[in-house]
Amino acid sequence: MELYTGLQRLTIKNSGLRSIQPRAFDKNPHLHYINLSGNRLTTLSWQLFKTLRLTELRLERNMFSCSCDIRWIQLWQEKGEASFQYQDLHCTTRESRVISMQEMNISQCDLPEISVSHVNLTVCEGENAVITCNGSGSPLPDVDWMVVNLRSINTHQTNANWTNVHSINLTLVNVTSEDNGFLLTCIAENVVGMSNASVLLTVYYPPRIVALLEPIRHMEHCIEFLVHGNPPPQVHWLYNGQLLRETEFIRMELFQEGEVLDGCLLFNHPTHYNNGNYTIVATNYLGTANQTVRGHFLEKPFPSISDGIITFEYSPSPTPLITVTHKPEEDTFGVSIAVGLAAFACVLLVVLFIMINKYGRRSKFGMKGPVAVISGEEDSASPLHHINHGITTPSSLDTGPDTVVIGMTRIPVIENPQYFRQGHNCHKPDTCFREIMLNPITLPGHSNPLNHHGIYVEDVSVYFSKGRHGF
């Protein structure tokens, strides 16, 4: 049957089946219907079916022998289990008489009775404990403790085995809090059936803070926590070492399930005033546990100005206590940069002032700068368009009142009346224009001479000495 792990219904009838091996159905946990009618079974053990959840077991027309081995069938029929109450079951006595299963009477053949020394066992973490289970009956049952998945160290020891009582002790060593709420089960079995009894193990231990998270925002900001302890601990909070009282803006929500406390410290629109250290404190009669988390909700809206203030504290002791708070290095560095920039600006202004005084003096015609036009207009009638291109000043030459200096040569200035307007007196200095008449000359370093139609000179410095008719 090991190959048919998913088997749910099994029918073996009228086949002459005489016996079934123990544990034959251990690999068929889903089996719920079995039909064994019409065979030659003389005995059958209930242990074949103890792992199954049978809804129907058909056993009619089998040649059972009336004995203690089939007493369990009679008990199941009385209880109406596996649809036995609807079946006509018989057995054969030692006298070869066939009787109804309900009429069978077997002495000293009953279910085992069981008892335990504790119904509820309460211990503190780290302690030891001993529990006793007694099984009695006829036939004498086998007794044992079912402690699968128990984490505490345990040992089983048979205490006594009398004629009709089987006793066994369970010893727990260094009990751990992980076994709190564990159900210790003792079972007693014989051919008639099985009985059991259970003991609830309760382990007391001091509080433990399993989890404490930084604030996270859901609908509100929440510092989530998880606390274990038995008895369940009392929980309160500290803010920066002081007792935190709940308000409409700060409150705690707590959910308890047995030894587990789960909850949140809730904040409704916290500000920078709520920044700080939050400590959860859990207490029961076995001890206290605490843990701290940093809560940071908002930055300060304005920087602190107390960092740059020098504070003097007076002490009545003979030596006064002076506390000096130095300015940050960033402030000193900024001041240094500002002073440097100011000094550089001052030096630059002095240099500019010297350059203006040196190169910005007026020419003898009252014109500033390196370039001047004789008439003050670009389209003047004078053939001399540009003057004062050189580096030699007119003060270095001996010029007359009506002369023009070109390079190192003096040229006389002759008035031309054709440029005078009607109605103006040429002898008035403010209404008279002059035309520079030049004789053809050759300047040193230039191959082209100057002619009467104008001056065609490249890069020649022309200096006018102020005559009696100033421009």
| Domains of the chain and any CATH numbers | 1-106 (3.80.10.10), 113-204 (2.60.40.10), 213-295 (2.60.40.10)
Give me the DSSP letters along 87-125.
Answer: S--EEE-TTS-EEEGGG---SS----EEEES-SEEEEET
**What is the predicted pLDDT for the residue at 382?**
42
Q: Amino acid letter at 27?
A: K
> Using 50, 70 and 90 to split pLDDT, how confident is the model at 320?
very low
Tens of pLDDT, residues 418-432? 444 444 444 444 444
In this predicted structure, what is the pLDDT of residue 344? 87
Which strands, in side-by-side order, build the sheet including 276-284?
Answer: 242-243, 234-239, 276-284, 287-295
Mean pLDDT across 30-36: 94
In this structure, what token pair is assigned to residue 249? 């803006």
Q: Which phi-psi region, left, alpha or beta, contains residue 193 (left: φ > 0; alpha: ψ -120 to 50)?
A: left
Burial of 224 (0-12, 13-18, 19+ CB in 10 A): middle
Residue 382 to residues 332, 352, 370, 420, Cα–Cα distance (Å): 65, 35, 19, 13
The tokens for 259 are 């030894």
pLDDT of residue 307: 47
Give the chain's end-to-end CA distance (angstroms, integer): 136
Taking residues 195-203, report their average pLDDT. Answer: 94
3-state secondary structure 243-281: ECCCCCCEEEEEEEECCEEEEEEEECCCCHHHCEEEEEE
- Tokens 């699968």 — which residue? 148
Confidence tier at 331 by pLDDT (50, 70, 90):
low
Q: What is the pLDDT of residue 369?
A: 43
Whether the per-residue pLDDT at 387 is higher than 90: the answer is no
Match 């399930």 to its residue by tokens: 257
Looking at residues 131-140, what average pLDDT do you find? Answer: 91
* Residue 360 pLDDT class (50, 70, 90 cuts): low
More confident residue, 284 or 400: 284
Percent of the chain with pLDDT strictly greater than 70: 68
SS3 state at 220 = coil
* Residue 232 CB-density burial (10 A; 0-12 exposed, 13-18 middle, 19+ buried): middle
CA separation for the pair 321, 304 (Å, rounded): 24
320 or 92, higher pLDDT: 92
Question: Who has greater pLDDT, 141 or 382?
Answer: 141
Question: What is the reported pLDDT for 23?
Answer: 85
Helix (H, G, I), strand (E, B) or coil at 65: strand
Whether the predicted pLDDT of 10 surpasses 70: yes
Predicted confidence at residue 147, as pLDDT, reads 87
Q: Which of 285-294, 307-316, 349-358, 383-392 is the most confident on average?
A: 285-294
**pLDDT at residue 87 tops 80:** yes
77-86, 103-112, 191-200, 453-462 — which is least confidently predicted?
Answer: 453-462
What pLDDT does residue 356 have? 87
Say whether pLDDT at 314 is over 50.
no
Per-residue pLDDT for 383 more than 60? no
Q: Is the dihedral of CA 362, 363, 365, 368 positive or negative?
A: negative
pLDDT at 164 (0 to 100):
77
Structure tokens at 76: 């199941």
Looking only at Cα atoms, what is the longest distance across the chain?
Answer: 182
Q: Looking at residue 445, what is its pLDDT? A: 53
Instruction: Provide the pLDDT for residue 155.
Output: 79
Does the pLDDT at position 32 exceed 70?
Answer: yes
pTM assigned to the model: 0.57
Q: Which two tokens stand for residue 317?
A: 């002791």
- Arithmetic mean of pLDDT, 438-448: 51
pLDDT of 221 strictly over 80 = yes
> Does residue 410 have a pLDDT over 80?
no
pLDDT band at 160 (very low <50, low <70, confident <90, very high): low
Nearest one of 150, 168, 145, 172 to 158, comparing CA atoms? 168
What are the two backbone dihedrals, phi and then psi, of residue 220, each rounded to the nearest 5 degrees?
-130, 165
